[in-house]
Chains A and B, each alone.
Chain A
Amino acid sequence: MAVLQYLINGLSIGSIYAIIALGYTMVYGIAKMLNFAHGDVIMVGAYISYCVMIYLKMPPVAAILAAIVVCTVLGVLIEALAYRPLRGTSSLAVLITAIGVSYFLQNAAQLIWGVAQKTYSSVVAMESIHLFDGKLLITGEVIVTIITSAVVMVCLTLFTSKTRMGKAMRAVSEDRDAAQLMGINVNRTIAVTFAIGSALAAIAGVLLCSASPALKPTTGSMPGIRAFTAAVFGGIGSIPGAMLGGILLGVIEELCKGLISTQFSDAIVFGVLIVVLLVKPTGLMGKQVQEKV
């Protein structure tokens, strides 16, 4: 029964990783850059929803919407101001700029909201479910997280496979120059990708802080690194890969914590990642690209 409990908790935290990893992987697939500021957009989303709920006394739904809107605008702004001028230059230059943006967001948050940790009140008003005479506890947050991420994944899959914009995104990620020649507006496609990724980050931020209520300016960085790892684990650039990678990473992490050792869970999770990458160097669902000479 304990194992089942770990599995469910792992599925919940893994779903959050998956939502964050989707943002990383979409941006990587289309703009070919590692957006290190993604984790901090999560933190901004959490703070915005916190402020709307606590200071404006609005219902959680309004808070979530506000977080999504602010993060979407923020994502598009970051892309236009910091990343677009560097498009086509060295990928390391873009990476360092992204790190600069990450520092900026963390320190701006620290100036606005202070260093002190805030206690996030959960957006979920659902009773926990006790099964098997209370041996199995499923909190409302876990249920909402799993349902939300399932909905997000289905919507995103439909969006990329059915809509015009989704097809444009896939075309740009396949071959940017060819897509441009076919009349696709590459700049707009990349901006939309950032918008979607940031909106997902806002949702992830709300879910993350509902599950573990400590909110501070560095809240987003560790889940960000984990989700980045998950995206690579699943094969960076691949949307189903990010979902699978995120969920697997969460489940492995919870199982390690429960069954082996809490202190060494980081080492074990990253160890599994290394083994997987050594066996399958492009991640679980990554495409093996043949090099042409």
Chain B
Amino acid sequence: MWLTLVFTVLSSIVGQNTLGLALASLMQRASKPVRTLTGGIVVTAWVLPEVVAGFLLYAFFRREGTLNAILDQLHLPSQNWLFTLPILAVSFANVWRGTAFSMLVYSAALNEIPKEITEAAEVDGAGGWRRMWHITLPMIRRSIGTNLMLNTLQTLSVFGLIWVMTRGGPGNRSQTLPLFMYEQAFQKSMIGYGTAVALLLLVVGSLFSLVYMRLLRTEV
């Protein structure tokens, strides 16, 4: 199921992870009220129950929804996102919901980098991007690993969000593995086939889980 792959890579690895890191590093520099405000909003999106988040983004992406209203204002072509690009819409929904977790992990990690090191690099004339690439990223390597792993596992098992937004449709164009499993097992009453899909999910999950454990090993 390449859709599952698209969904996972797009929303977990590219979306949540990168946006989370970007937010966390911007937060290091921003002024306090802005930091609190943004943090509050992003975390609220995370704390909301899955189903509610699904409804909110359903409303956002619908033909009469907010996104198209904004696009109209900007004189850009609008379309029915849930119909034309359902997988993109649910991926964005997952990013909206899951970024806060990455942001919290990375904020904690960035806070643990000693100030002296970044300052030393700055004095030596390293620009922002070079500092990020040569100092910050290597120093939070372990957090990146942990975070990627947890995001991926969480994204693999997303059901409610997609169910509420598209039911896997139209057709099966946003049908990830959990939805496929549900359809086979219950709507088509093939419990055995559904269980096989479940097993596949479980195997993928265990592989990620094992890698994750290796990363945490020293701490047990």
Are these two chains actual partners, yes or no?
A: no
